[in-house]
Amino acid sequence: MLDGIVKWARAKSPWVCHLNCGSCNGCDIEIVAALMPRFDLERFGVLLEGTPRHADVLLATGPVTRQIKDRVIRVYEQVPDPKFVIAIGTCGISGSPFYPGYNVLGGVDAAIPVNMYVPGCPARPDAIAYGALKLLATLDPEIDAVVKSIEAKYDTTGLVYTPEEMDDLRNQEGAAS
Amino acid sequence: MPKLSFPVGPQHPALKEPENLRFTVDGELVVDADIRIGYVHRSIERSCSERNYVQDLYLCERVCGICSNAHTLCYCMAVEKIADVEIPERAQWIRMIMHEFERIHSHLLWLGVAGYEIGFDTLFMYVWRDREVVQDLLEMVSGSRGHYAMPILGGVRYDITPEMETKIREGVAILRQRTEHYADIATTEATFIMRTQDVGAVSGERCRQLGAVGPVLRASGVDWDIRTVFPYLKYDQVQWQVRSSELCDVLGRTLVRVQEVIDACDIITQALDQMPEGEIQAKFPRKVPEGEATARVEAQRGELIYYVRSDGSDVPARVKIRTPTLANLPASIEMVTGGYVADIPIAFASIDPCFSCTDRMVVLDDLRSGDSRQMTWAELVKLGRGR
Amino acid sequence: MRETIAVTATELIEQVQQEYQGELLEARASSEADAWLGVPPADVQQIARFIMDAWPPVHLSTITGVDNGREIELLYHFVADGCALNLRAAVPKGVDQIDTIVPVVPAAIMYEREIMDMFGVAMVGHPDPRRLTLPEDWPQGDYPLRRDDVAEEAEEETNA
């Protein structure tokens, strides 16, 4: 019962913290745009918080480099459980085009577990909003209904990837090469 | 057998956060500053020598998500210089239009962020709403809101159709009008002036000595703009002027940028009026002949310079990139020194720095008390907003 | 097309050849606006002083390092009176040091630090020789833009 209330409270007003692992800032700008009136994630109660200690969701951009990896893990550890990570942007997913590079390890999941992937270079604000909502849909039936109505109206294939879908994609590409 | 579990607690107190900004303070006054930029190193220059010229176009584009077109433009100019390829007339005009579009998007982005840093949230919201006009135009022409990939070796990727031209003229007219409104705010709104006037002041002479560029240099009274020093594209064929201010402070930098947005609107309109029909791409060799060249552009943040050396293959021997932010860093240290701690965010932001500060750790060493405060950049910004 | 030509590259080169007292290894104009000079690395402060005095105010855009196998070429990219002036000083590998030009060109402060990080060429007399582009805990002796494997190949070729 308490579990359900915590879930509901979290889904009602998720606080997101933005972590730039070393991106070019392209996706960071689109994250801010996603919170601005035009795309308006704020209407779903999503608030941008400065510190990871108060966050529920970590929006992570950029490739993970040798020098930043420990810090990314430390920030992740500061986020209280239960926590979610959304990797945003192509370099957040794979490190590309910086990977391969002598100190680039890969995308965000080279350091921490990821719960949702939003591709794009930069990722679009609508895709970021959709990715955040899709994640929150697993916690809140109201948001789930919103997501379902979006999916009924638009073709959202490839807009975002769950970890399972990303694994499938990577396996396919691995098999192809 | 009972399971043993170990609590995974907060990080060990002995583990130091990597600090990137260190300020020596005396109470609320900043006595000294130090900025470290090593954490965003992505091995781009070396990677450029491990990828071919075409791949490097896309890599260099991603040095910065806000200046990306300036990078592709400058890169193309350097490589085209070595290969001695002249790009078609129409392509030059389109490149200039994209260059100015990017100036608009970037300066408006900056203005909104500057508003945020001083607690002027309505300015932030309105400017970013208006900025969506240029984002839509960029997406219309290139297919993307960022990393437009318009300059390619030999020309530009896409043409501007007559339908697009109509929309661009409409959009630019709106942007011009709205930006005139922001120019008004910057010159008459007491709260804005109070937080920007005499803040972050550096003289023109000092800016020059320290190698500062762009709006930072021009807001300290130095009329230096690559578009007139090394004229490129069609800047010598449209009416515009180099904008500068004698104020030398954050307010001066604001006025220069806002005026440059208005000028950009006018340059784009004139470009649409004057650009001829014709090809937009010239043939470009896959293997670039041996040679070396520099190219400079006036990116929105200031002089951007590329040096490229070719060994005759399809992979560059060397690509060197110096972003304008690096040139402005020494001046930025002087901007915060002697000012208040609460003014650090806006003073530092006034150089329009091209690296994300939001997760940087800040250390304040207090001379008087001997204490050392550690906080995130976001927390420091909060101090500035509350002032 | 340049509206106002301050000093052309050819004029600049001529002036250097007439007035500069030191040795010139290279002096050419690749275009109306691009001049290239080369000096022995020991003379770098001397030529920097000459440049700063000849066409004030001179702007230093950046310093490029290029590993050509045998040497680390340092290219100081100046803007002198509307002309791009590229100054080359090649530091032989094994020597790996050159005088700082910061006392003459304050703007060089950041760019010299970058060269030290990326190429391991010491800037003798630099007022603040700390790491710039690499983090503090980057391994000593690891210079990302040095291509010492290339140097070994070049040596094998000359020995063969």
pLDDT in tens, A86-107: 999 999 999 999 998 888 999 9
Comparison of pLDDT for C6 and C98, the residue scoring more? C98
- Each domain of chain A, given as residue ranges in start order, spans 2-176
In chain C, residues with a C-beta closer than 8 Å to the C-beta of A102 are 144
- Each domain of chain C, given as residue ranges in start order, spans 9-159
Write the pLDDT tens digit of every residue in B132-165. 999 999 999 999 999 999 999 999 999 999 999 9
DSSP for A57-76 reads EEEEESPEETTTHHHHHHHH
Please state, rounded to an integer, the average pLDDT across all residues of chain A: 86
Q: What fold characterizes domain C9-159? A: Beta Polymerase; domain 2 (3.30.460)
In chain B, residues with a C-beta closer than 8 Å to the C-beta of A128 are none
pLDDT of residue C135: 79
Comparison of pLDDT for A137 and C62, the residue scoring more? C62
Length of chain B, please? 387
* Average pLDDT of the residues in A140-145: 85
* A102 to C138: CB separation less than 8 angstroms, yes or no: no
CA distance C111 to B289: 28
In chain C, residues with a C-beta closer than 8 Å to the C-beta of A103 are 144
CA distance B65 to A28: 9
- DSSP lists the bridge partners of residue B375 as B362
In chain C, residues with a C-beta closer than 8 Å to the C-beta of A67 are 134-135, 137-138
Confidence of residue B16 (pLDDT cuts 50, 70, 90): very low
Write the pLDDT tens digit of every residue in C65-119. 999 999 999 999 999 999 999 999 999 999 999 999 999 999 999 999 999 999 9
Residue C81 φ/ψ region, left for φ over 0, alpha for ψ in the -120 to 50 degree band, beta for the rest: left
* B382 to A50: CB separation less than 8 angstroms, yes or no: yes
Neighbours of B162 (CB within 10 A): 6
How many Å is the maximal CA-CA distance in chain A?
Answer: 50
pLDDT of residue A12: 65
* Average pLDDT of the residues in A59-73: 89
Assign B336 to helix, strand or coil: helix
- Residue of chain B whose Cα is closest to the Cα of A79: B10
Do residues B112 and B123 lie in contact, with contact meaning Cβ atoms separated by under 8 Å? yes
The reply to whether CATH 1.10.645.10 applies to domain B45-325 is: yes
pLDDT of residue B320: 97
CA C30 to chain B, closest CA, distance in angstroms equals 9
Comparison of pLDDT for A74 and B167, the residue scoring more? B167
Interface test with B, best of A15, A16, A29 (most B CBs within 10 A): A29
Judged by average pLDDT, the poorest of A38-42, B130-134, B372-376, C54-58 is A38-42
Confidence of residue A52 (pLDDT cuts 50, 70, 90): confident
Residue C142, pLDDT above cutoff 80: yes
How many Å is the maximal CA-CA distance in chain C?
Answer: 54
CA distance A118 to B337: 41
Assign A151 to helix, strand or coil: helix
Comparison of pLDDT for B355 and B302, the residue scoring more? B302
The answer to whether residue C135 neighbours chain A at the CB level (below 8 Å) is yes
Confidence of residue C155 (pLDDT cuts 50, 70, 90): low
Comparison of pLDDT for C156 and B287, the residue scoring more? B287
CA distance B204 to B247: 10
DSSP B340: B
Here the tokens at position A150 are 């979006």
pLDDT of residue A44: 73
pLDDT of residue A100: 87
- Residue of chain A whose Cα is closest to the Cα of C144: A102
Contacting residues for B287 by C-beta, under 8 A, at least 6 apart: B312, B313, B314
Element (H, E) at B375: strand B372-376
Comparison of pLDDT for A11 and A36, the residue scoring more? A36
**What proportions of chain A, in percent to the nearest 5, are helix, strand and coil?**
50, 15, 35
pLDDT of residue C136: 78
Do residues C78 and C86 lie in contact, with contact meaning Cβ atoms separated by under 8 Å? yes
- DSSP lists the bridge partners of residue B366 as B25
CA B102 to chain C, closest CA, distance in angstroms equals 22
B39, B231, B317 member nearest C2 (Cβ): B231
Comparison of pLDDT for B151 and A10, the residue scoring more? B151
Give backbone dihedrals phi and psi of A101, rounded to 5 degrees, phi first.
-150, 155
* B146 to A30: CB separation less than 8 angstroms, yes or no: yes
Confidence of residue A71 (pLDDT cuts 50, 70, 90): confident
- Going through B68-195 in order, the beta strands assigned E by DSSP cover 151-152, 155-156
pLDDT of residue B82: 98
Give backbone dihedrals phi and psi of B302, rounded to 5 degrees, phi first.
135, -165
- Each domain of chain B, given as residue ranges in start order, spans 19-40+327-385, 45-325
Do residues B98 and B150 lie in contact, with contact meaning Cβ atoms separated by under 8 Å? yes
CA B38 to chain C, closest CA, distance in angstroms equals 4
pLDDT of residue B72: 98
Write the pLDDT tens digit of every residue in B251-282. 999 999 999 999 999 999 999 999 999 999 99
Q: Right CATH number for A2-176 from 1.10.1050.10, 3.40.50.12280, 3.30.70.100, 3.40.50.720?
A: 3.40.50.12280
pLDDT of residue B1: 29
pLDDT of residue A125: 93
* Average pLDDT of the residues in A5-19: 69
Comparison of pLDDT for A67 and A112, the residue scoring more? A112
pLDDT of residue C1: 32
Write the pLDDT tens digit of every residue in B83-134. 999 999 999 999 999 999 999 999 999 999 999 889 899 999 999 999 999 9
Complex ipTM, two decimals? 0.92
* Average pLDDT of the residues in B175-198: 94
CA C56 to chain A, closest CA, distance in angstroms equals 36
In chain A, residues with a C-beta closer than 8 Å to the C-beta of B39 are 22, 65, 67-68, 71
CA distance B146 to B134: 11
* B356 to A63: CB separation less than 8 angstroms, yes or no: no
* B317 to C106: CB separation less than 8 angstroms, yes or no: no
Here the tokens at position A157 are 């294939």
Residue B355, pLDDT above cutoff 80: no
Write the pLDDT tens digit of every residue in B292-343. 999 999 999 999 999 999 999 999 999 999 999 999 999 999 999 999 999 9
